[in-house]
């Protein structure tokens, strides 16, 4: 059986190593309406700000043409004044070296005035990773036992 | 290494998905015709997909960026043709569970990393045949190193060739190249790791290397 071989120790070591607190390098973009302006804040998963990231703002009235472009400051922040007469829907893309995200902002009266993307806690990440790994391992055990049964029959 | 949603145009994403589907079908057919014990291969692919899924959360800070292990070379060596579907499965769960990568870009990401795994596997087989068993360490190192670097080259090519007109392309290309260079130490480390794993497997379970 596959998991009875010494290689299981290697896999176990890798999985234990990976289970230590860590984060990937995805991007989190949050926004907030402050007065007439919209303030964007970009950071990587590990909390580092997306400084000097390229920001492109699209209006809902002309979603294929950039309304304004710019660059975030050293704290990963950027602010712009939307023309609410033109549209109440705005899309903002923040990207740096192929990493980034797009946020959709509604300035309708009943819409939220901020969106702070909290991400996952370490416990949530461990729990979800455990579920997926358990699924993969179960699949491996299923096929491994099926092979063993077939060998026993023959 | 993972391209998120919204970074590449929609038509490229569709083409990537179509390419990934076609390559998955091809790899499964090749695996069925090449390997006799497919049940063992599927169980091994499941475990390796779990390893691939989890190692992307190992965060290695290499200022000014951070990188994570890919294990494309090791996946290719241990799984052969089935490494591409295994990586595709791992990427799917990474996107579903954590939003790491993207749904629309899952085809492009799998072509980058899965394609690198297949090519690394080809390199491993080629070098091993030329050098014999004693040089298997070198073959493992080259496969591990090349697995990372080819994935980086594929990913960066996708990003640079599809840059939109409205952004400052010079700045973005400079950032992308900086990110690529940061993967060089990771590639060296993965080369050493892959070589050690290959040597270990050669001692305890040489049949796992699937060299045919």
Q: Structural domain tally of chain A?
A: 2
Judgement on whether residues A50 and A36 belong to the same structural domain of the protein: yes
Judgement on whether residues A96 and A79 belong to the same structural domain of the protein: yes
Residue A17 lies in a domain: no
Residue A44 lies in a domain: yes
Averaged pLDDT score across all residues of chain A: 75
At A3 the pLDDT is 44
Q: What residue ranges define each of the domains in chain B, with the CATH number in brackets? A: 10-201 (1.10.1760.20)
Judgement on whether residues A92 and A140 belong to the same structural domain of the protein: no
CA–CA separation, A146 and A120 (whole Å):
37
Range of the domain at A92: 27-115
Q: Does the beta-carbon distance from B6 to A44 stay under 8 Å?
A: no
At B131 the pLDDT is 56
Judgement on whether residues A87 and A138 belong to the same structural domain of the protein: no
Judgement on whether residues A76 and A135 belong to the same structural domain of the protein: no
CATH number reported for the structural domain that contains residue A39 in this entry: 2.60.40.1120
Judgement on whether residues A42 and A69 belong to the same structural domain of the protein: yes
CA–CA separation, A23 and A121 (whole Å):
10
Q: Does the beta-carbon distance from B47 to A140 stay under 8 Å?
A: yes
Residue A100 lies in a domain: yes
Chain A residues with CB under 8 Å of B65 CB are 25, 97
Of B2, B175, B201, the CB nearest to A96: B175
Judgement on whether residues A78 and A38 belong to the same structural domain of the protein: yes
Q: What is the DSSP string of A79-136?
A: EE---TTT-SEEEEEEEETTEEEEEEEE-STTS-SEE------HHHHHHHHHHHHHHH
Among A53-62, A131-140, B108-117, the range of highest mean pLDDT = B108-117
Q: Tell me: pLDDT of A9 over 60.
A: no
Nearest-Cα distance to chain A for B207, in Å, is: 12
Judgement on whether residues A124 and A109 belong to the same structural domain of the protein: no
Chain B residues with CB under 8 Å of A102 CB are 5-6
Scan residues 10-39 of A and list those with Cβ closer than 8 Å to B.
10-11, 14-15, 17-20, 22-27
At A10 the pLDDT is 47
- Among A17, A13, A10, A4, which Cα is nearest to B200's? A10
Q: How many alpha carbons fall within 13 Å on the CB side of residue B110?
A: 35
B30 versus A64: the higher-pLDDT residue is: B30
pLDDT > 90 fraction of chain A, expressed in percent and rounded: 10
Residue A21 lies in a domain: no
pLDDT > 70 fraction of chain A, expressed in percent and rounded: 69
Nearest-Cα distance to chain A for B127, in Å, is: 24
Q: A65-74, A136-145, B111-120: which has the minimum mean pLDDT?
A: A136-145
Kindly state whether A125 is in contact with chain B, defined as any CB-CB distance less than 8 angstroms: yes
Over the stretch A88-103, which tens digit does the pLDDT of each residue have? 888 899 988 888 888 8
Q: Does the beta-carbon distance from A24 to B98 stay under 8 Å?
A: yes
At B81 the pLDDT is 92
Of A6, A97, A101, the CB nearest to B175: A97
At B118 the pLDDT is 95
**Residue A3: how many CB atoms within 10 A of its CB?**
14
pLDDT tens, position by position, for chain B (212 residues)? 788 888 888 899 999 999 999 999 999 999 988 887 778 888 888 889 988 988 887 878 776 677 888 899 999 999 999 999 999 999 998 888 777 788 889 999 999 999 999 999 999 988 887 656 667 889 999 999 999 999 999 999 999 998 888 888 888 898 888 888 888 999 999 999 999 999 888 888 887 776 55
Chain A residues with CB under 8 Å of B66 CB are 25, 44, 46, 48
CA B211 vs. chain centroid, Å, equals: 19
Judgement on whether residues A87 and A99 belong to the same structural domain of the protein: yes
Phi, psi of A84 (to 5 degrees): -70, -20
Of A5, A10, A136, the CB nearest to B46: A136
Residue in B closest to A141 by C-alpha: B43
Residue A105 lies in a domain: yes
Q: Does the beta-carbon distance from A5 to B98 stay under 8 Å?
A: no
- Cβ atoms of A147 and B37 within 8 Å: the answer is yes
Confidence of residue A116 (pLDDT cuts 50, 70, 90): low
Of A17, A24, A52, the CB nearest to B100: A24
Which tokens go with A119?
Answer: 């991400």
Q: Does the beta-carbon distance from A101 to B46 stay under 8 Å?
A: no
Confidence of residue A113 (pLDDT cuts 50, 70, 90): low
Judgement on whether residues A60 and A126 belong to the same structural domain of the protein: no
Judgement on whether residues A38 and A93 belong to the same structural domain of the protein: yes
Judgement on whether residues A60 and A82 belong to the same structural domain of the protein: yes
Which tokens go with B123?
Answer: 């390199």
């Amino acid at each position: 059986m596959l998991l009875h071989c010494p290689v299981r120790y290697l896999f176990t070591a890798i999985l234990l190593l990976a289970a230590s607190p860590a984060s990937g390098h995805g991007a989190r973009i949050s926004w907030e309406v402050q007065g007439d302006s919209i303030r964007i804040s970009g950071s990587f998963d590990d909390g580092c700000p997306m400084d000097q990231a390229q920001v492109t703002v699209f209006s809902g009235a002309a979603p294929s043409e950039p309304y304004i472009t710019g660059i975030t400051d050293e704290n990963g922040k950027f602010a712009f004044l939307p023309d609410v007469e033109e549209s109440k829907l705005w899309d903002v893309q923040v990207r740096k070296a192929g990493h980034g995200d797009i946020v959709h902002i509604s300035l309708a009266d009943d819409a939220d005035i901020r969106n702070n993307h909290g991400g996952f806690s370490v416990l949530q990440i461990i729990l979800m990773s455990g579920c997926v790994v358990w699924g993969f391992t179960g699949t491996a055990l299923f096929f491994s036992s099926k092979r063993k049964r077939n060998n026993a029959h023959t | 290494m993972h391209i998120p949603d919204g970074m590449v145009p929609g038509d490229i994403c569709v083409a990537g998905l179509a390419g990934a589907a076609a390559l998955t079908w091809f790899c499964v057919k090749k695996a069925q015709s090449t390997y006799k014990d497919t049940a063992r291969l599927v169980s091994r692919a499941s475990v390796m997909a779990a390893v691939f899924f989890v190692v992307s959360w190992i965060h290695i800070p290499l200022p000014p960026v951070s990188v994570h292990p890919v294990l494309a070379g090791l996946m290719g060596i241990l799984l052969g043709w089935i490494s591409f579907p295994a990586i595709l499965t791992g990427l799917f769960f990474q996107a579903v569970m954590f939003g790491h990568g993207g749904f629309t870009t899952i085809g492009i990401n799998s072509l980058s990393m899965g394609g690198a795994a297949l090519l690394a596997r080809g390199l491993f087989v080629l070098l091993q045949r030329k050098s014999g068993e004693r040089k298997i360490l070198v073959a493992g190192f080259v496969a591990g190193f090349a697995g990372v670097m080819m994935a980086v080259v594929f990913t960066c090519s996708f990003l640079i060739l599809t840059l939109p007109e409205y952004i400052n392309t010079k700045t973005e290309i400079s950032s992308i190249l900086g990110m690529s260079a940061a993967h060089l130490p990771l590639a060296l480390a993965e080369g050493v790791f892959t070589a050690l794993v290959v040597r270990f497997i050669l001692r305890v379970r040489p049949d796992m290397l699937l060299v045919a």
